Amino acid sequence: MTYDEAMDGHEVTYAEMVHEMRKHCVNDAGFADFFREYGVRETYQSDEILVWLGY
């Protein structure tokens, strides 16, 4: 998925979100921050993840 496609807000699974966050070296404290902001869900929007990562 390209950056532009990701910013269109495609649905990604929990596992895909974890994989992408780990690729960006997000640690356990970072995941806790993410879950406080977006909650623990089965799916996320790709743009939510990118915004949280600072893109």
CA nearest to 5, candidates 49, 51, 47, 53: 47
- pLDDT by residue for the chain (55 residues), tens only, comes to 787 877 788 999 999 999 999 999 999 999 999 999 999 999 999 999 999 999 9
Amino acid at 48: E
Enter the tokens of residue 44. Answer: 């996320």
Range of the domain at 13: 3-53
How is residue 8 annotated by DSSP? T
Q: Residue 7: its pLDDT value, please?
A: 79
Q: Residue 6: its pLDDT value, please?
A: 78
| Number of structural domains the chain divides into | 1
CA nearest to 8, candidates 43, 48, 52: 48
Radius of gyration for the alpha carbons in the chain, expressed in angstroms and rounded: 10
31: exposed, middle or buried (C-beta count within 10 Å: 0-12, 13-18, 19+)? middle
